[in-house]
Amino acid sequence: MLTQLRPALSLLALMTLITGVAYPLTVTAIAQLAFPEQANGSLVRDADGEVRGSLLLAQKLEGPQWFQPRPSAADFATVSSGASNLAPSNPALAERIAKDAANLASAGQGPVPMALVTTSGSGLDPHLPLAAARYQIPRIAEARGIPAATLERLVEQQAERPLVGPAVVNVFALNLQLHRMPE
């Protein structure tokens, strides 16, 4: 029995060291060298060095003067992130979407883009399609007292155009640029 147990325990110890220690340390070292900002969470710091958020996570900002991200089933809490898990046929989901659409609707702008009333899978997606960001421009222009054309240029400057898929804008990065604009 000892002849079978000793190799098994040795193999367990070796594989634990390889897969539990060596591999994670190697991957972490490569990530820190090749992509240090992303490996550390793409954190955004203010002038005092305080962390104000991450470009990888949607942030909730109150008020009509800010671009709003997609709704979050977990109210933007990273610990309990996730979708609402409500089926499309669920009356509670239909009611929430109708309420959100009514709150966001603006006269003469057409229907509210679906991205502004439906959650992402994680509930923390920081990106919006360009149409959803542009839909918010009249409200923000009015609240801030700035020309809509200025906001349109800002959205275009922040647009990300991936190789595959539609152009999107990171709402947190967009709001950071909006915050830095002179009042």
Tell me the CA distances in angstroms from 4 to 13, 16, 18, 57, one per residue in order: 15, 19, 21, 50
Q: Give the per-residue pLDDT at 48.
A: 82
Query: CB–CB of 124/57 below 8 Å?
Result: yes
Which of 176, 136, 183, 135 is CA-nearest to residue 158? 176
Tell me the pTM: 0.75
Helix axes 148-158, 137-144, angle to 10 degrees: 120
> In this structure, what token pair is assigned to residue 173?
């990065």
Q: Give the per-residue pLDDT at 149.
A: 93
Query: CB–CB of 23/33 below 8 Å?
Result: no
The CA-based diameter of the chain, rounded to the nearest angstrom, is 82
43-45 vs 51-54, strand pairing mode:
antiparallel
- Walk along the chain (183 residues) and give the pLDDT tens digit of each residue: 778 899 999 999 999 999 999 999 999 999 999 998 888 888 888 778 888 888 888 888 888 899 999 888 777 777 666 666 778 888 888 888 888 888 888 877 888 888 888 887 777 888 999 999 999 999 999 999 999 999 999 999 999 999 998 999 999 999 989 888 876
Q: Give the per-residue pLDDT at 75.
A: 75
